Amino acid sequence: MQTIIVLGFILETMHFLQDILLEDHLLPGNTSVTKLGNEECKHEGEGALEKFLFNLERKDWVLEKDFPEEGITIKSVYDEEIKDYFLYTMATFDFENDWLAQDMLEHSLEATAEWSSVCKEYTVVQRWPADRCALVHQVLEKRWLGLSLMRDIVYFRYGHVEGDRRTNVMFSTDWQGLEPTKMVRGTINKGSGLMLHPNPDNRTTRTLMHWVSSSDMKIPLLPKGILVRLYTMTCRQYILDLRHYTESRWRMHLDARRG
């Protein structure tokens, strides 16, 4: 635990230095902003989905941490295309798949600021329902020893349904009116996303989540191995927070069914 605390302090210090180093380069007008239309969003989403499915099938994942008592396993891989790491989190949820998929993809993701300690704002800027596509602006805030560090991300969410599998992929984009400011702009690389499907061993009451995440790990002076370890613990906490929130949503669902 002391090691994690020390590593966390180092990480936040490096983020703080990054804020200072990048401040002059993130002023409005310095970034070319391209406004993507509906068809462009769909096209980019299909490419991101292909990369996500490739990530699920790749064989070079390295085990970072296994929490068998919690039903959580986290792996990592260095991707040569993005020159950075992906993290792959597999977790079980004790809820029926159709309900969980609908509730999570239509509500819980957009309510992230209600249950995630690091999410300050989650705003759906624009939707294209016919293509299951949405533009999202998210603000993240980390607090460490009284130091507040802010990040924002602008990205597309692109949905896909195949049989009993529900998938949402995420990938960063530029958007007119949401240009970077002095706040450091985070990145979600193509290949990130989540998939929900019934657990083959218990299809009626248990769901499996496959979550591939990426983050801007290019922080000067801090080895990537340490960053991967820290983000691994962040992924675990995200799952625990999401489960807790989903449990309350499930109880509300059962109460509504009883009338």
Give residue-wise pLDDT tens across range 105-125: 889 999 999 999 889 999 999
CATH of the domain at 249: 3.30.530.20
Separation of alpha carbons 114 and 212, rounded Å: 22
3-state DSSP assignment of residue 61: coil
What is the structure's pLDDT at 18?
A: 43
C-alpha to C-alpha distances, 115 to 109, 189, 245, nearest whole angstrom: 10, 24, 6
Separation of alpha carbons 82 and 255, rounded Å: 46
Residue type, 72: I
Q: 184-185 and 119-128 as β-strands: parallel, antiparallel, unpaired?
A: unpaired
202 bridge partner residues? 199
Burial class (CB in 10 A: 0-12, 13-18, 19+), 45: buried
Burial class (CB in 10 A: 0-12, 13-18, 19+), 84: middle
Of 55, 57, 48, the C-alpha closest to 78 is 55
* Encoded tokens for 134: 């949405």
What is the structure's pLDDT at 180?
A: 84
Q: Where is pLDDT greater, at 185 or 100?
A: 100
What whole-number percentage of the chain has pLDDT above 70? 79
Question: Over 80: is that where the pLDDT of 104 sits?
Answer: yes
Number of domains present in the structure of the chain:
1
C-alpha to C-alpha distances, 59 to 62, 67, 78, nearest whole angstrom: 9, 21, 12
For residue 30, the enclosing domain spans: 2-258
For the entire predicted model, the pTM comes to 0.82
**Residue-wise DSSP of 78-119:** EETTTTEEEEEEEEEESS-HHHHHHHIIIIITTTHHHH-TTE
Of 164, 143, 171, the C-alpha closest to 207 is 164
Separation of alpha carbons 40 and 152, rounded Å: 23
What is the structure's pLDDT at 13?
A: 44
Q: 184-185 and 147-162 as β-strands: parallel, antiparallel, unpaired?
A: parallel
The structure tokens 């922080």 sit at: 219
Q: Is the separation of the CB atoms in 171 and 153 below 8 Å?
A: no
Question: Over 80: is that where the pLDDT of 29 sits?
Answer: no
For 218, half-sphere exposure in the C-beta direction (CA atoms, 13 angstrom radius) is: 12
What is the structure's pLDDT at 188?
A: 94
* Radius of gyration from C-alpha coordinates of the chain: 18
Q: What is the pLDDT of residues 37-96, one digit of tens each?
A: 677 778 899 999 999 999 999 999 999 999 999 999 999 999 999 988 999 999 999 999
| Helix runs in 109-223, H state only | 112-115
Separation of alpha carbons 164 and 186, rounded Å: 32
Sign of the Cα torsion 143, 183, 83, 189 reads: positive
The structure tokens 């079980």 sit at: 92
Of 194, 238, 234, the C-alpha closest to 52 is 194
What is the structure's pLDDT at 227?
A: 80
Q: What is the pLDDT of residues 191-231, one digit of tens each?
A: 999 999 998 888 788 999 999 998 665 555 667 777 888 88
